């Protein structure tokens, strides 16, 4: 249980996700028990949320409910979400709570593309950042690492990759309590002559940076994601999203192979009983709910995206990530690193909302 006395207010999109308010509120209750300093601003449709909220009297007592007219469906296009969901949806209202400093962080299990488009339009980008990145926690042989971008935007030039590296290292310091995370660029080989020009240029720039809060470790390959040789792996959203979902599919495949193998024969089932504690440990390590909660980096505010199909434990994990990002001053760490490493002239920080909404990857 946390002993932190600072109150952290979380704006929660209660209608987001595949299972709606019942699962989202159950997850909020789990996180509240772990971190009693959490308070919630709950955004959603009154008829759907309030009956479920009655099941959690302590959560209700420590929350403010904001009724909203509509919700963003999981299959809504980002441009349509912006056009029809602004000002009236729970997702938008929760983002406004962060913008108006009523809440410290926003958490949603809703439509990924809509959330990114709305976040960029409502909160705007940090000075010098043109495109946000979606950063996910990735389990590996040595513990955990951060991988970004895993689906916020397709493609990235050298400048964006450098920014991702800076933001990812700041997140590693905030989440893992590291002083100098090791950062690697995902490439098709570790040799400096390999890869696209943007990656090689970004690598050269990162070599020239001498930050006390980041160590550039060079290029890494896809196999390194599971080995844990670096603390932060940087790539662009198309590649990162494919890598993330390939890893999730592989984990499910291996799990099914193990279940099939353990049930094939009587001896296998007896062997499973003797090795049950080891298999339980493996199950915990491979449980995607434990690392649920990706962070949109580069915004003027902390926004956490949860998997839409997760359960209450997964929702709680996403809320926990948001809590830890705020408690450990993620935004200040990012701003400091960016200020120290600005290359060239400042880029446009606003962007057109409608064009932004069309390039996100739908989760």
Quick: pLDDT tens for 148-202: 988 888 888 999 999 999 999 989 988 888 889 999 999 988 888 888 899 999 9
At residue 248, the pLDDT reads 74
DSSP state of 32: H
**DSSP structure string for 278-305:** HHHHHHHHT-GGGG--EEEESBSSEEEE
Given the DSSP bridges, would you call strands 38-44 and 63-67 parallel, antiparallel or unpaired? parallel
More confident residue, 262 or 205: 205
d(CA 3, CA 110): 31
CA 235-304-219 angle, to 5 degrees, is 15
Tell me whether the CATH fold assigned to 1-132+298-363 matches the one assigned to 136-290: no
**DSSP structure string for 71-110:** ---TT--HHHHHHHHTTTBHHHHHHHHHHTTS-SEEEE-S
Q: List, edge to edge, every strand of the sheet that includes 38-44.
A: 63-67, 38-44, 8-13, 105-108, 302-305, 294-297, 133-140, 143-148, 232-234, 182-186, 215-220
At residue 183, the pLDDT reads 95
Specify whether domain 1-132+298-363 bears CATH 3.40.50.10950: yes
The CATH code belonging to domain 136-290 is 3.40.718.10
Quick: pLDDT tens for 108-141: 999 988 999 999 999 999 888 888 899 988 888 8
At residue 284, the pLDDT reads 62
At residue 348, the pLDDT reads 38
Q: Where are the domains of the chain?
A: 1-132+298-363, 136-290
Does the pLDDT at position 351 exceed 90? no
Quick: pLDDT tens for 269-323: 777 676 767 666 556 655 566 667 789 999 999 999 998 888 899 999 999 999 9
At residue 304, the pLDDT reads 94
**What pTM did the predictor assign?**
0.81
In 3D space, the residue among 188, 196, 183, 119 whose CA is nearest the CA of residue 341 turns out to be 183
Mean pLDDT (whole number) for 253-259: 77
């Amino acid at each position: 249980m946390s002993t932190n006395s600072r109150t952290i207010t979380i704006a929660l999109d209660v209608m987001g996700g595949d299972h709606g308010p019942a699962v989202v509120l159950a997850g909020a209750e789990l996180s509240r028990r772990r971190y009693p300093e959490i308070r919630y601003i709950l955004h959603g449709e009154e008829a759907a949320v309030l009956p479920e909220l009655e099941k959690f009297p302590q959560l209700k007592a420590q929350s403010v409910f904001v009724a909203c007219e509509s919700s963003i469906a999981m299959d809504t296009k980002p441009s349509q979400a912006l056009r029809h969901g602004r000002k009236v949806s729970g997702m938008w209202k929760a983002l406004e709570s962060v913008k108006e400093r009523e809440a410290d962080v926003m958490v949603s299990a809703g439509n990924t593309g809509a959330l990114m488009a709305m976040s960029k339009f409502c909160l705007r980008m940090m000075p010098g950042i043109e495109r946000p990145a979606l950063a996910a926690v990735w389990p590996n042989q040595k513990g955990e690492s951060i991988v970004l971008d895993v689906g916020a935007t397709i493609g990235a030039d050298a400048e964006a990759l450098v920014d991702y590296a800076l933001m990812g290292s700041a997140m590693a310091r905030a989440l893992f309590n590291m002083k100098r995370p090791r950062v690697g660029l995902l490439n098709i080989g570790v040799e400096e002559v390999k890869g696209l020009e943007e990656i090689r240029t970004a690598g050269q720039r990162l070599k020239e940076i001498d930050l006390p809060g980041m160590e550039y470790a060079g290029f890494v390959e896809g196999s390194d994601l599971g080995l844990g040789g670096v603390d932060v792996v940087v790539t662009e959203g198309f590649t990162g999203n494919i890598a993330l979902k390939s890893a999730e599919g592989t984990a499910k495949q291996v799990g099914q192979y193990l279940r099939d193998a353990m049930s094939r024969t009587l001896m296998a089932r007896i062997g499973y009983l003797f090795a049950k504690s080891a298999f339980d440990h493996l199950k915990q390590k491979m449980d995607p709910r434990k690392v649920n909660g990706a962070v949109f980096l580069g915004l003027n505010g902390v926004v956490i995206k949860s998997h839409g199909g997760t359960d209450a434990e997964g929702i709680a994990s996403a809320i926990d990530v948001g809590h830890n990002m705020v408690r450990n001053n993620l935004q200040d760490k990012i701003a400091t690193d960016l200020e120290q490493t600005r290359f060239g002239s400042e880029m446009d920080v606003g962007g057109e909302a409608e064009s932004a909404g069309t390039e996100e990857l739908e989760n």
